[in-house]
């Protein structure tokens, strides 16, 4: 077993949570290493996909709204630092089946109220407005909508790839092809990790940001954090221009009641990506073939028929089953282990964590330095009971 140089902090996992934390810690002069199996981005990581929605629309939840608002500012900074536009501010459209004022559309109504209070007036669209601005929408089923230009999507896999390179440029040591098999704990103090590839990494603190594998490494969170599978679909439209911004944007289609959301034509892949933010299926992170089922594709086709008829027969060029690291309450999980000194967990993205990457890094770094971050309280280590309700309001559960 070979031993590698001593670090202040070893981060287990190079997804958005790990990479963002590493950048923040390196900026604060900590000696940091990231360990990740294969390469960063890893093909099975939640962060690794062509796009993730970046939205300030969080229903009545002002804290998430504010976190997303600050994250968006930082995504612009990252675009600048990385020298490439990984965050695309193409706007965010909420499509509604009923009146936005109705109880049924309370997610959209509350989101619009929060936005307005924070100085982001949304553009309300009726049948005529939708037809003019977003002509591919079936207004018979979605007669109302609300468009906010401040929002869009991040090219997630690409962002992680470039952020990891940036992290390395500011001193973070990246060890790819290293899969942590156990955390070294001596007399209640964590002092390193061991990898399946046969190496030991010594450090003062370990941050486990291993996405869905986190509960395998830190079993104490297993009762509260599960992995669930969610399918995404890439479609090739016959008239790509009609799905290209500004004719199309990131959208939700009555999301809290249906789960459906999606993206405009991807600038590199030339596809429209659609997903469903709903309950998902319980899936073991290492013991599942992650195949998208035929009934899910049927469900997608019926959604397209009713929402974007031009896509009803569009070729499905790729499907992916991606795993949420789901906490029971839908909130992130970033805190010190209550019993093991020097062990920190940074996980629980719960299907909405990517956009918050820049702030997650700050919260983690403050946790390492025992400082209080303004958003940290709700992500602390907690003991959730079976009757815990999922609190992220966009999610269809």
Ligand X SMILES: Cc1cc2nc3c(=O)[nH]c(=O)nc-3n(C[C@H](O)[C@H](O)[C@H](O)COP(=O)(O)OP(=O)(O)OC[C@H]3O[C@@H](n4cnc5c(N)ncnc54)[C@H](O)[C@@H]3O)c2cc1C
Contact residues: ligand X, CB under 6 A: 12-18, 35-37, 42, 45-47, 52-53, 179-180, 209-211, 213, 217, 230, 232, 275, 322-325, 347, 349, 351-355
Q: Give yes or no for a contact between 52 and 322, defined as CB atoms under 8 angstroms apart.
A: no
Q: Give yes or no for a contact between 327 and 222, defined as CB atoms under 8 angstroms apart.
A: no
Residue with Cβ nearer ligand X (16 or 190): 16
Residue with Cβ nearer ligand X (98 or 194): 194
| Cis amide prior to 321 (ω within 30 degrees) | no
**Angle at 143 (CA atoms; ends 106, 150), nearest 5 degrees:** 60
Nearest distance in Å: CB 370, ligand X: 22
Residue with Cβ nearer ligand X (139 or 361): 361
Residue with Cβ nearer ligand X (21 or 191): 21
Residue with Cβ nearer ligand X (37 or 192): 37
Distance CA(23)–CA(20), nearest Å, equals 5
> Which residues are CB-neighbours of 135 under 8 A, at least 6 positions away?
242, 247
| Residue for token pair 């090739």 | 236
> Which residues are CB-neighbours of 43 under 8 A, at least 6 positions away?
none
Distance CA(215)–CA(285), nearest Å, equals 10
**Closest-CA residue to 97 (of 66, 130, 143):** 143
Residue with Cβ nearer ligand X (321 or 336): 321
Instruction: Supply φ then ψ for residue 28, to 5 degrees.
Output: -95, 15
| Residue for token pair 């629309």 | 57
Residue with Cβ nearer ligand X (130 or 163): 163
Listing DSSP states for 341-375 in one string gives: BTEEEEE--TT--GGGHHHHHHHHHHHHTT---TT
Distances (CA, A) of 365 to 297, 344, 347: 41, 10, 14
Nearest distance in Å: CB 64, ligand X: 10
**Closest-CA residue to 356 (of 18, 54, 43, 30):** 54
Instruction: Supply φ then ψ for residue 27, to 5 degrees.
Output: -65, -25
Distance CA(77)–CA(375), nearest Å, equals 20
Per DSSP, 100 falls in state: T
Distance CA(366)–CA(139), nearest Å, equals 47
Residue with Cβ nearer ligand X (217 or 235): 217
Nearest distance in Å: CB 20, ligand X: 8
Structure tokens at 229: 């599978």
Residue with Cβ nearer ligand X (117 or 182): 182
Question: Which SS3 state, helix, strand or coil, does residue 303 take?
Answer: helix
Residue with Cβ nearer ligand X (51 or 139): 51
């Amino acid at each position: 077993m070979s031993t590698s140089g001593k670090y202040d902090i070893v981060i287990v996992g190079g997804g958005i949570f790990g990479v963002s934390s590493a950048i923040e810690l390196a900026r604060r002069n900590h000696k940091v290493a990231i360990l990740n199996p294969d390469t960063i981005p890893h093909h099975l990581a939640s962060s690794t996909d062509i796009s993730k929605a970046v939205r300030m629309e969080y229903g009545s939840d002002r804290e998430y709204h504010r976190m997303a608002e600050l994250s968006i500012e930082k995504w612009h900074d990252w675009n600048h630092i990385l020298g490439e536009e990984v965050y695309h501010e193409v706007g965010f459209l909420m499509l509604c089946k009923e009146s936005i004022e109705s109880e049924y559309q309370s997610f959209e109504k509350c989101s619009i109220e929060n936005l307005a209070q924070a100085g982001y007036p949304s553009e309300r669209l009726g049948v005529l407005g939708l037809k003019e601005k977003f002509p591919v929408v079936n207004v018979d089923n979605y007669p109302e909508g609300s468009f906010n230009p401040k929002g869009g999507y991040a090219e997630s896999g690409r962002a992680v790839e470039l952020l990891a390179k940036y992290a390395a440029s500011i001193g973070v040591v990246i060890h790819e092809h290293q899969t942590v098999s156990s955390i070294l704990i001596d007399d209640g103090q964590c002092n390193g990790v061991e990898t399946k590839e046969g190496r030991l990494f010594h450090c003062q603190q370990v941050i486990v940001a291993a996405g869905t594998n986190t509960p395998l490494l830190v079993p104490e969170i297993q009762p509260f954090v599960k992995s669930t599978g969610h399918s995404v679909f890439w479609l090739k439209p016959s008239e790509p221009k009609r799905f290209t911004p500004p004719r199309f944007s990131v959208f939700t289609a009555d999301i809290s009641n249906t789960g459906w959301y999606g993206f405009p034509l991807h600038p590199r892949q030339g596809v429209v990506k659609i997903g469903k933010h709903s309950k998902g299926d319980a899936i073991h992170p290492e013991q599942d073939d992650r195949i998208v089922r035929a009934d899910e594709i049927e469900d997608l086709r019926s959604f397209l028929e009713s929402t974007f008829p031009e896509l009803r027969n569009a070729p499905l060029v790729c499907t992916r089953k991606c795993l949420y690291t789901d906490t029971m309450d839908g909130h992130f999980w970033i805190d010190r282990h209550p019993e093991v000194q020097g062990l920190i967990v940074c996980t629980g993205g719960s299907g909405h964590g990517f956009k918050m990457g820049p702030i997650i890094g700050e919260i983690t770094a403050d946790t390492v330095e025992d400082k209080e971050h303004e958003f940290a309280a709700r992500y602390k280590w907690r003991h959730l009971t079976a009757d815990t309700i999922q609190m992220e309001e966009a999610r269809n559960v």
